[in-house]
Chain A
Amino acid sequence: MPYCVKCGVELDKSAKKCVLCNTEVMIEQQDEIPPYPKEKSEVSQLNTGYFAMLLSVILIIPNVACLVINLIYSPGIYWMYYVFGGSLVLWMIFIFPMTLKKKRPLIHVFLIFLSATLYLLLIALALSGMRWFLTIALPVCITVMLLLFIIIFIVNRKKPGKLKTTSISLITVIVLCLVVEGTVDYFVNATIQFSWSYIVAASIVPVIIALVLLSGNKKLQNELIKKLHI
C-alpha cells in the first residue's frame, strides 16, 4: 500500500502522487480502479455565438428601417450614413468580442479603429469635410490605435506591475496630447506650435518619474503603504 513520505497518509493504490503535497508515489503502479471516473459533467455555457447573432439581428432592424425611411422621405440626402456607421462601431465594440472564443485584444482594437475611421469617413463624405478628416480625425485615430497597441503589447509580453503600467499609460497620454494639439494647430493655423500639451506633459512627467522610481523600490513601497494605507 502506498504512503506519502512527506504527509504520512496512506494513499489510494491508483494514486500517482499525494494530493496534499504533490509528492510522487515511489511504488510501482498497479492497475486499480481510481476512486472517481475521468468523465466530467460539462457546465452548459451560454452559447455566446448564438447570443451575438441575436443581438446583431436586433441591431440590423433599425438600420433597415432607417434605410427605408431615408429612401422614401429624403431621396438624394443620405443621412443613413450616421446610423449605419454608429451601429458598426457599436457592433465592433460590444458584439464582436462575443463571437471570439479567446480574448484577442490586438485584433479587437484594430477592428474598432477600422470601424471608427470608416464612421468618421462617412460623416466627412456626407458633410464634404475631407480636410478635417485627413488632417485631424485620421491622424488622431491612428495615434490612439498605435498607442493602444504599444500598451497591450508591453502589458502582455513584459507583464509590468501596476505602477509601471500606469506610467506607460501616462506616457501615451502625453503623446496623444501632443498629436491632438499638433493636428488641430495644423488644421487651424497651418503651422505647428505646441503650447497646452507642454503643460500637460510638465505636470505628468514628475508623476511618471516618481512612479518609475517607486516601482524599483520595494522598501519605499512598503513604507508608503504603511504610512498612507486607508
Chain B
Amino acid sequence: MLRPVEEKKQKNWFKLDNAAKIYPAANTKRWSGMFRLSVTLKEKVDSFILQEALATTIKRFPSFNIRMRRGLFWYYFETNARKRPTVRPDINNPCAPISWQDNNGFLLRVFYYDKRIAIDYFHSLTDGTGAMVFLKTLVAQYLKLKGYEIPAKEGILDVDEQPDIEEFEDSFAKYADSKQRGRAKEPKAYHMKSTKLNDNDISIITGITSLEKIKQLAKKNNSTITEFLSALLLYSFYKQKEKEGLYTKPTRIAVSIPVNLRNYFKSNTKRNFSLFLNPGIDTILGEYTFEEMLRQIQYFMKANLNKKTLNAMMTQNVIIEKYIFIRVAPLFLKNFLMSIAHSTIGYRPISTLLSNVGSVTLPCEMQEHVNRFEFILGAAKIRTPYLAVVSYNDTLVLNFTSKIKETDIERFFFTYLIKQGIPVKIESNRE
C-alpha cells in the first residue's frame, strides 16, 4: 500500500541510520567510505541530458536529496532543496574521498565517460540495493529524455510519483528488537603484507566473465555464486598466507560478506539495511583444500542466515547507540572514538570483503540500450583488496579494489577461473 507523503508534512531532516553513523566519523581527507555503481550504455553519454535526468531523479529520492550537517550530539541529513548536484567527467581514481562541501553538499557524485554513467555514493546514504534503484531510475530517466519509452518496473521508480514514506524509513530502528544481542566471538584475522600506493591512487582490477559459466561451476560444487566466489577469494588469501607462513599468528582468514536484510525483513527502504557476516577458516587447524573452505562458508551462512540470528546481530549494533552516556557525548568526542574504533576493531575480524549486489534486471525496453553494470567498492583502510560483484544478463563483473601495489590475490583468483576453463577479460585503471 502506498502512503504518499504530503508536501507540507515532508520531513526536512533525517537522523542517520545505524549503519550510516560510522562513515562520517571515520571520514578523513585521505579515506571515505565510498562505493560506485556504474552502467555502460551502447552509445556515448550526453552530459547535458544526464544533468537534466539527475535533477529530476534526485527529487524523487528524499533520502538522497540531502546534505550532511553537524548537530551538537549527532550528524544529521538536511534536505538540500535549493541546490542541484552536477555531473562531471569521470576520474582515474573512483571513490575518491568526499568532503561535506563538495558537489553542492550532495553525498553522491555522478560521472560520465564515453559510454559510461557512474555514481560514487557515500555509504551513509544507502547500501548497494538502494544505490542500484537510484542508478536504474537515473538511467531510465536519461533514456526517457533521449526519447525512448521506458516503463517504471523491475525496480525502476516513477519520477513523477510522490515518494512513499517507507522508502526512507530507518529499518534498523524498526526491526531491531531481539532479546538476545550480539554474535559469536570473532578472533583477530590475518591481514596480508603489502606495499601502499600513493594517497591519490586506487587500484581497480576488473574481471569480466560469463555468469552462466560461473553458475555452472558453482552448481558443480553444490553452492551459490556468492558462496563459490567467497570461497575462491578466501582460497586466494589462503595461498597468500601460505607464502607468509600458515601457522604464524593471526591464523584466522575471514571474508566479510554483506547481507541484504531486505530478504529477511519486509522493508522497502532505500537507505542502509544490510549487515556483515564474517565466515572464515583457521589455519591453526591444518591445511585446507578449496572444497573444505567452501563447505566452511556454506555451513556458516546456513547457520546464520535466519531472521532470529540476524536480528540479534542487528540489535547489538543498534543498542550501542541507545546507551545514554553515548548519546550525550558531544559529537567531536564521538567522532574521535568512533574513528579509532573503525580503524582498529572494525578491521580486526576480517581479512577481506566480498559484496555481491546480485543480478540486475531491467525492463526489455531498456535492455537494448545497456551493455553492462559495474560495482566498485572503495578501498579498505587496511591494505587488502576487496571484491565487488554484479551481473547483468550473462555478464558477470568482478571488481577488485585496493590501495596496494601487489596483485597476487587478483592474479591467483583470475588464473584459477582460467584453469577451470572460464574465460576472463581484464580491465584496469592502472598504468
Contacts and interface: CB of A to CB of B under 8 A. Distances in A.
B204 interface: yes
A43 B403 CA distance: 14
B426 A37 contact: no
18 contacts: A7-B414, A7-B426, A9-B426, A10-B423, A10-B425, A19-B410, A19-B430, A33-B114, A38-B92, A39-B92, A40-B91, A40-B96, A41-B91, A41-B96, A42-B200, A43-B30, A43-B199, A46-B29
Interface string B205-233: 11100000000000000000000000000
B427 A20 contact: no
SS class, residues of chain A in contact with chain B: loop
Interface string A27-59: 000000101111111111110000000000000
Given A36-B113, A43-B96, A45-B29, A20 B429 contact: no
Contacts, number: 87
B418 A12 contact: no
Given A19-B407, A21-B411, A35-B206, 11 more contacts: A4-B426, A8-B418, A10-B426, A15-B426, A18-B426, A20-B407, A35-B428, A36-B113, A40-B92, A43-B200, A44-B29
Given A33-B114, A36-B113, A37-B113, A9 B424 contact: yes
Contacts of B158: none
B427 A12 contact: yes
Contacts of A114: none
Contacts of B429: 35-36
Nearest to B414: A9
Interface residues of A, number: 25
B369 to A, nearest CB: 19
A11 interface: yes
A44 B91 CA distance: 15
A38 B99 CA distance: 22
A19 B205 contact: yes
A150 B35 CA distance: 49
B407 A36 contact: no
Given A9-B418, A10-B423, A20-B410, A37 B90 contact: yes
Interface string B87-122: 001111110110100000000000001100000000
Contacts of A19: 205, 407, 410, 426, 428, 430
B411 A20 contact: yes
A212 to B, nearest CB: 29
A36 to B, nearest CB: 4
A20 B96 contact: no
Contacts of B201: 40
SS class, residues of chain B in contact with chain A: loop
A10 B430 contact: no
Instruction: Indicate the size class of the contact surface on chain B.
Output: 20 to 34
Q: Which 3 A/B pairs are nearest by Cβ-Cβ distance?
A: A36-B429, A20-B411, A41-B96
Contacts of A20: 205, 407, 410-411, 414-415, 426
A10 B30 contact: no
Interface of B: 29-30, 89-94, 96-97, 99, 113-114, 199-201, 204-207, 407, 410-411, 414-415, 418, 423-430
Nearest to B203: A19
Nearest to B95: A41
Nearest to B99: A44
Contacts of A40: 91-93, 96, 200-201
Interface in A65-120: none
B424 to A, nearest CB: 5
Nearest to B88: A41
Nearest to A22: B407
Nearest to A12: B427
B8 to A, nearest CB: 39
Contacts of B206: 35
Contacts of B415: 7-9, 20
A132 to B, nearest CB: 47
> Which of B90, B200, B424, B427 gathers most chain A CB within 10 Å?
B427
B143 to A, nearest CB: 22
Contacts of A18: 426
Contacts of A21: 407, 411
Contacts of B91: 36-37, 39-41
B92 A7 contact: no
A37 B424 contact: no
B142 to A, nearest CB: 20
A36 B425 contact: no
B79 to A, nearest CB: 26
B133 to A, nearest CB: 25
Contacts of B97: 43
Nearest to A42: B200
> Which of B29, B94, B97, B415 gathers most chain A CB within 10 Å?
B415
A46 B204 CA distance: 26
Contacts of B96: 40-41, 43
